[in-house]
Amino acid sequence: MPDSPSPTTDPYAPQPTLWDRYPDAIAAVIVFGLTALLGVLSFPPFQMPEFAYAMLVPALFWAYLRPPFRLFALTVLGAQAVAWTIVLGWLHHVTWLGLFLLGPFIGGWVGSWFLLAWWTLPRIVGRPTPVRLVAILGLAGAWVVIEWTRSWLLSGFPWLTLSASQWERASILQIAAYTGAWGVSFVLVMMNLGFAAYAHRLFREGETGLRKRSQEFFLAMFLLLVCLCVHVQESFNRLRFSVPLGRFAFVQPYIPQDVKWDPAKGPGILQVLEDTTLRAAATLPDAILWPEATTPWAVRGDPDARAFVESLARRAHAPLLLGSVAVESDHTPNEAWYNGVFAVDPVTGLQTAYYAKRHLVPFGEYVPLRPILGWLSKFVPIGDDFAHGLDSSPLVVPIAGNAVTFGPLICYEDIYPQLARESALAGADVLLVQTNNAWFGEGGAAYQHAAHSVLRAVETRRPVLRCGNGGWSGWIDEFGSIRAKLVNEDGSIYFRGTQTIAVTRDARWIGRPTFYVLHGDWFVAVCAGLVLFGYLLLRTHRPAPVTPPPED
C-alpha cells in the first residue's frame, strides 16, 4: 500500500500568501509609500491640506504593532528623506548638491520624531486612560520641540513647519495668536495620533460596544474644536472694525537671475523699473512697493542709484519702499554690505534710516565658518559676505495722511517667527515682506514661502504686504486670510507687472500686541514639560497584569 502524502506536500493544503511570508517587508513598503506621498501632498503648492491630518497615521499605526526597530527606522527616515527632497525640489534651480544634502538632512531631523513614537506607542496599549493621554500629549509636544529646534540650530531652517500646511485654512490658524504656529502643529499631530489610536483600537484590540471608543481621538477632536471656537470668536463681526490703511501699488519687475547682477544689463533693469513704476503711479497709490534687492547698484553708496530712485518717487508722487543694497564705509579700506529696505519720500528723498537684513542666507549671502568652508562660494554673485543687521526698528512712512510703521522682513526672514515678533514689539503696524523667489523657478517655492507670511500675520495680528520679484505678491490680513494676490490674465503669479490694492486693517489690533508677541515661545516650554512628564510616567507606571479569561 503506498505511503500517504505528507502534510507538507499535500496539494490541497492552503498556500502561504506573500503577506504570510514577508509581513514586515510588505508593511514597510506600504508605510514608506504612504508616508512619503502624504508628506508631499500636505504642503503647497498642492492644495490638499487635509492630508496633514493623516500624513503620520500609517507609520504610527505600524509603530503600535512593534515592528523591528532597524526596519522601522530605515523606513520612516527614508520616507522623510524622499518627501523633503521632493518638497524642496525647487532648490535644484540653484544647486543640485544643496538639494540632495538638505532634503535628506531635514527629512532625518523631522523623521527622528517617529523613533520616539516607536518607543512610546506600544507601551501605552492597555494602560489606563490618563496614562495614554499624557503619553500622546508628550509625543505631540516632542514634535513641537523638534520643529522649534529647526528655527535656530545650525543657523536655523524652519521651512514648512506642519502648521504651514494649513495656510489656506484660516479656521485652524487663530490659536497661533496665543501659542505661535507651534500650537497649530501640536493640534495637527494630536489629530494624527488620535486617528492612529482609533484605528488600532478598532482593528487590533478586539474591543466591542462602547469600549471601541478611543479617548485619544476624543482629546484630539476637543483640541481641534478649541481652534475652531477661537476662530469664531476672533472672526465674528470682523468687518465692523475694518478701517482703511491705504492704496498700495505692488511692482513685480521679474528680472531674470542671469542678468540681475550683470553691470552691462543695469540700464535695462532701470528701464523696467521706471516703466512699471510709472504705470503703477497712474493708479494714484498712497505708496509703491518694490521687491528685494531691486536695483542693480546700491541706493546707499552709489549716488547715481540714489538719484534714480529719488527722481522716480518724485515723478510718481508717492513714497517708494524698495529693497536694495547699502554699502557702508568707515573711511578705511573695509566696506560693509547690507541687504536692506529703504524708504524714499517724493519730497525729501531717501530716508537716512533703513532696515538691514538680520538673518542672512547661508551660502547665499555669506559663507558660514569661512575659515573652514571658505573654499565654498556663494550662489549670489555680488560682493563679499553681507553683514548682519541688528536692529528691528520699523520704517515710518506717511500713508494717506498718517504715519505708518512698517516692519520689514527680507526674503526668507518671514519663516522665523521670532523676527516678526521682534518687529511687532518694536512698534510695526504692518509687516512688509520683500523677496526674490525668482532664484527658484516657477515651481512651489513661492507658494511655500507665502505660507509662512500667513502664519506671521496671525501670530502678530499685523497685516502682511508681500512683494516678490516675480511672485508671490499680495495682502494677507491679521487673521491669515489672503485678501488679494497678484495674478496675470492666465491666473499665474509669475509675471512682470503691477497692481494696486486698497488695504484695510482691524481697528481692534492697532497698537495692540498679541499674547504670543508678549510672551514668545512659552508653548514650546509647555511642550518640553509634556515630553518629560510623559516619559517619566511611562517609565514609572507599570501596566496592570492581564488576567486570562476563565476556562469553560
Contacts of 192 (CB under 8 A, 6+ apart): 53, 54, 55, 56, 57, 60
Q: What is the pLDDT of residues 18-67, one digit of tens each?
A: 777 888 999 999 999 999 999 999 999 999 999 999 999 999 999 999 99
Question: In sequence order, what are the beta bridge partners of 465?
Answer: 432, 475
Predicted local confidence at residue 40, as pLDDT: 98
DSSP 265: G
Strands in 402-410's sheet, in edge-to-edge order, are 395-399, 402-410, 430-435, 464-468, 474-476, 482-485
Residue 515 corresponds to which cell in the numbers above? 499674547
**Looking at residue 208, what is its pLDDT?**
62
Going by pLDDT thresholds of 50, 70 and 90, the confidence category of residue 9 is: low
Q: Who contacts 245 (Cβ-Cβ below 8 Å, separation ≥6)? A: 399, 400, 404, 430, 463, 503, 504, 505
| Residue whose grid cell is 498700495 | 248
pLDDT at 532 over 50: yes
> pLDDT value at position 384?
64
Question: Is the per-residue pLDDT at 116 higher than 80?
Answer: yes
* Beta-strand relationship, 320-329 and 287-289: parallel
| Separation between Cα atoms, residue 103 and residue 196, nearest integer Å | 27
Bigger pLDDT: 3 or 361?
361
**What's the rounded Cα separation, in Å, for the pair 212 and 174?**
32
Binning pLDDT at 50, 70 and 90, where does residue 343 land?
Answer: very high
- Angular region, 325: left φ>0, alpha ψ -120 to 50, beta rest: beta
pLDDT digits (tens, 9 = 90+) for 56-101: 999 999 999 999 999 999 999 999 999 999 999 999 988 898 899 9
What is the C-alpha separation between 140 and 62, in angstroms, rounded?
17
Closest CA to 452 of 184, 107, 70: 184
Residue with cell 538638505: 102
Q: What does pTM read for this prediction?
A: 0.92
Average pLDDT over residues 253-260: 85
Closest CA to 296 of 322, 270, 319, 329: 270
**Range in 235-244, 363-372, 386-395, 428-437 with the lowest mean pLDDT:** 363-372
Mean of the per-residue pLDDT values for the chain?
91
Q: In this model, does residue 262 exceed pLDDT 70? A: yes
pLDDT tops 60 at residue 292: yes
pLDDT at position 477 over 60: yes
Using DSSP, state whether 60 is helix, strand or coil: helix
- How does DSSP classify residue 261? T
Res 125 pLDDT > 80: yes
Residue 350: its H or E element: strand 349-350
DSSP H or E run through 102: helix 96-124
- What pLDDT was estimated at residue 546? 45
- pLDDT tens, position by position, 161-174: 999 999 999 999 99
Cell numbers 516632542 label which residue? 142
Within 10 angstroms of residue 121's Cβ, the number of other Cβ atoms is 24
Task: Tell me the average pLDDT across 183-206.
Answer: 94
Model confidence over 197-211: pLDDT tens digits?
A: 999 998 888 766 656
Question: In this predicted model, what pLDDT tens digit does every residue of 18-30 receive, in sequence order?
Answer: 777 888 999 999 9
Mean pLDDT in residue range 411-420: 96
Contact 287, 320 (CB under 8 A): yes
pLDDT band at 503 (very low <50, low <70, confident <90, very high): very high
Please give the pLDDT value at position 175.
Answer: 97
For 205, the grid coordinates are: 484590540
Burial 315-336 (b: 16+ CB within 10 A, else e): ebebbbbbbbbbeeeeeeeeeb
3-state secondary structure 2-17: CCCCCHHHCCCCCCCC
Range with the poorest average pLDDT among 1-15, 247-261, 281-295 = 1-15
Whether the predicted pLDDT of 10 surpasses 90: no
pLDDT band at 233, cuts 50/70/90? confident
Give percent of the chain above pLDDT 70: 90
